[in-house]
A and B are shown apart, each in its own frame.
Chain A
Amino acid sequence: MKRYKDEGVRVVDSHYKVPGRVKWALMDKLLLGLSPKQYIIQAVRNPYNWVLAAIFAVGLPIIAMRFILGLGSVTHSSCDYPWGLILDFGLFSMVPLSSSGFQLGTTVEIFGRHDFEPIERLALLNGLLGYFFAVVYLLVDLGQPWRLPYPMVVAYGPVAVLFLVGWHVATYLSVQVCEVSVAFFEWIGFPLGKQGVRKITLGLTVAGIILSTLHQGALGALYNYAPGKVHPLWYSSAFQWLHFFVSSIPGGLCMVIVVSTIARKTMAWRCDDRFLDNLDNLTISLAKGASMGLITYLVIKLMGIAHDNKWEYLATGYGTWYLLEMGVGVLLPLILFAHGIRNKMVGLVRFSAFLTVFGVVLNRLNTGFITFNWKMAEREVPTWQEFMMAITLFCVYIAVWRFILYRLPILFTWKSADAYATASETSAGIKHGKNPEPVLAGEKW
């Protein structure tokens, strides 16, 4: 796409191909303003697509097999380890990383920090896609996924923590869809929808905070059902839910840093100046928030050990593993963040964000799988098909990310007719040799 943009193809960043006169058709918007042939060429030229294609070629048939032949055909069918890699990676790890939605929403709407706006939509989209794909992973893992609506409409078990998780995730997904719909309505040209949503944004944001606090914590509380099965260093009788909730704060913020770094690197053509110019500063600001989350998390983890007096476990093999997870995933990022923030070293901050994301994922995998059933003699390693399914679904997630970022005004600002009139003099569109038409009165967006 970068090549096309340099060659003079106009990217879709407003409703009008030719200002005031020719509107982009939906097909144009979908194909990024390229002709179908151009679109296919750029898709084939992109090496990332080759990797995706290879993964899909192997992974999609395995997922099909899971649905046709049953879970037993692609997993160990373990009754001792009922929750495997799909759930631990796809749901338990992705949900904390998707907490950016409520965090940035709160920052901008509740606390009025509009300087975060350039990155707000990216964070909201991260939240939406993360939760959506967590549900996709869940549907792959559930024994009878077509019964997913049952706890909503058929049979209620309100005592169960999972009941809360189900209702909250469903409600929160709706909230996030509304929040991201603002960008969608801009893109599709439905100003009424955008205005409608903007009116209830405050309510949506507060609802988002409530729901997020509870279900991030509830995912931790799920492990309270198995106090003897999770290793004591990863299990806290009193604070399990707090550990999960607090670790989601740095997780979400750092995921935004990670995603924005990747976007900047791989789709700079799509980012506008407002995004690119502010990104470094915003990255540092996000890192500040993440640092506070990390130090809080570190302390409450230590408090958790002290509360149940589990210090002696640190001397075991699992203890070493625990110290490694805390060291690489929490302590090291804290140190790097401190240095990077103080000295405005954005590169270091970005690296540290990657470490934090890794740390959160490792923590969830440890709690749910690696140290689960620590008292049992045999450990269970997931089947290669499970690994493949997890990777495949993650690649679908990446592909959807990319699809949306290429099109919706997330990384760039959707130009109104007025703004386009002034900007077009400097944009690449001038190469077409067309003079900007005068703006028709009343065509405000």
Chain B
Amino acid sequence: MKRRDFLKGCMACGTAATLVVSNQAWGIGTFEGYPEVMGVLVDLTRCVGCRTCEAACNREQKLPAPDEPFDDKSVFKEKRRPTEKAYTVVNRYDTNSPKGPVYRKIQCNHCNEPACLSSCFVNAYTKTSEGAVIYNSKVCVGCRNCLIACPFNVPGYSYSSAFNPVVKKCIFCYDTRLKYGKPPACVEVCPQEVLTFGHRNDLLRIGRERIKEKPERYVDHIFGEKEVGGTSWLYLAGVDFDKVGFDTTMSNDPILSNVKDFLGIVPMVLTIWPALFTGFHLLATKNKDHADHDNGHSGQEVGKP
């Protein structure tokens, strides 16, 4: 009888184990990024806070009309973040530097190993070969794990919609421009050419050249080169990055690597636990009659051989 139970137990566990898709950690090894992705170099020393990029994004992505006009500078009083109505915003930072206030454009950084993509259980995000991190609203369930995961606090969610709330974020103008090799709307419209569009590798080279040529103008760091695994949108600044709202405590490991250890344990538990606990069972119940436990429930002696 016990052997039969044991075999039945194993079969049930095995079935249970196969029913649950086991998560395997992806291949270990450092990932250097896709070689031919595009990117944008954002030179904060050139930005004057005209917000034309916000207006261009609004038009290109058919976003609703903003509460304040795009030439209204009073919005700088508060620090804003991207929302369902504004995929990109510009913030002003008064750094008491002789160079004046620093303006920073915030949008999705289109990471090489996006946290949003890693955290999505319906695979709604895709990193395209051009470098854009795009989103499929048709499968999104609305768990908002991507909002939790994004280290830059970028994705917005359309809470205002009752029947089709979805994630709203910068998509690098993929559908209308990047797919065809054209630069995104914000890049094209910027009067100060704060945004330089090109291949990510070229942009890194350009960034380093700019720093080399004018070391008094730039801080010697390209933000996004290595942070959280590297991003497609890179930043140059004339003041320390943490003074203009960047999180300089970020690790160079992509966010995914924080959960890889746990994901690696999953198949271990799935494999070890059945044998372990069935073993416990056999050890603990040797010589004990299984039939005993039916007594308490039905108040009846079940006579079993």
Contacts and interface: CB of A to CB of B under 8 A. Distances in A.
Contact of B297 (A142, A186, A203): A186
B159 A175 contact: no
Interface residues of B, number: 84
Given A71-B159, A79-B81, A117-B293, A210 B270 contact: yes
B62 interface: no
B242 to A, nearest CB: 11
A416 B300 contact: yes
Interface residues of A, number: 88
B145 interface: yes
B191 interface: no
A156 B140 CA distance: 11
A118 B141 contact: no
Contacts of B124: 155, 157
Interface string B23-60: 10010000000000000000000000000000000000
A47 interface: no
Given A203-B9, A224-B262, A445-B298, A67 B269 contact: no
Nearest to A237: B258
Interface in A146-174: 147-148, 150-151, 154-168, 171
Interface residues of A, dominant DSSP: helix
A12 interface: no
Given A154-B139, A168-B20, A227-B258, A79 B300 contact: no
Contact of A202 (B121, B162, B281, B288): B281
Nearest to A107: B284
Contacts of A164: 20, 23, 263, 266
Contacts of A210: 13, 16-17, 269-270, 273-274
Contacts, number: 255
B175 interface: no
A206 B13 contact: yes
B281 A112 contact: yes
Contacts of B166: 143
A246 interface: no
Find the residue from B26, B139, B251, B298 having the highest chain A CB count within 10 A: B298
A205 B151 CA distance: 39
A200 interface: yes
A158 B121 CA distance: 6
A69 B161 CA distance: 7
Contact of B277 (A82, A166, A206, A218): A206
B122 A150 contact: yes
B16 A211 contact: yes
Nearest to A77: B159
Interface string A316-329: 00000000000000
Given A79-B155, A143-B144, A114 B292 contact: yes
Nearest to B160: A72
Contacts of B261: 238
B123 A155 contact: yes
Given A171-B19, A211-B16, A224 B259 contact: yes
B272 to A, nearest CB: 9
B123 A413 contact: no
A274 interface: yes
Contact of B165 (A70, A203, A209, A224): A70
Contact of B280 (A111, A150, A161, A221): A111
A401 interface: no
A144 B147 contact: no
Given A157-B122, A175-B16, A203-B8, 11 more contacts: A117-B297, A147-B142, A150-B122, A155-B123, A156-B21, A159-B23, A162-B120, A206-B9, A210-B274, A213-B273, A228-B151
24 contacts: A70-B159, A70-B162, A70-B163, A71-B159, A79-B84, A110-B280, A148-B141, A151-B122, A159-B263, A160-B118, A182-B297, A186-B297, A202-B8, A203-B15, A204-B12, A206-B278, A207-B17, A210-B16, A221-B259, A225-B149, A226-B148, A227-B255, A414-B297, A414-B299
